[in-house]
Amino acid sequence: MQRLHLVFGGELVSPSENKFRNVKDIHVVGMFPDYASAYVAWKEWAQKTVDNAHMRYFIAHLHRLRDEEAPASPTEELS
């Protein structure tokens, strides 16, 4: 099975919750074939925006969307 990962981010309403200020402004960094390459991209963009406490970048494990039975770890939950 191919394990696709999506890296995206944007400005949050509050640094204490994962709710985007404006969904239309979400920055899609790209799709990656493995976690390692997604992590490199995530880290690059997270570091570029480190001075803005409202900016957050995430890695979405898209392969899990195809397998509803696979449990998600707490760090993968956005709510």
The pTM of this model reads 0.76
Query: Domain limits at 50?
Result: 23-76
Number of domains in the chain: 1
Q: Is residue 5 part of a domain?
A: no
Q: Decide if 9 is inside a domain.
A: no
* Nearest in space to 49 (alpha carbons), one of 29, 65, 69, 34: 29
The pLDDT value recorded for residue 79 is 43
pLDDT digit string (tens) for 3-37? 899 999 999 999 888 899 999 999 999 999 999 99
For residues 7-42, b (16+ Cβ closer than 10 Å) or e, as one string? bbbbbbeeeeeeebeeeeeeeebeebeeeeebeebb
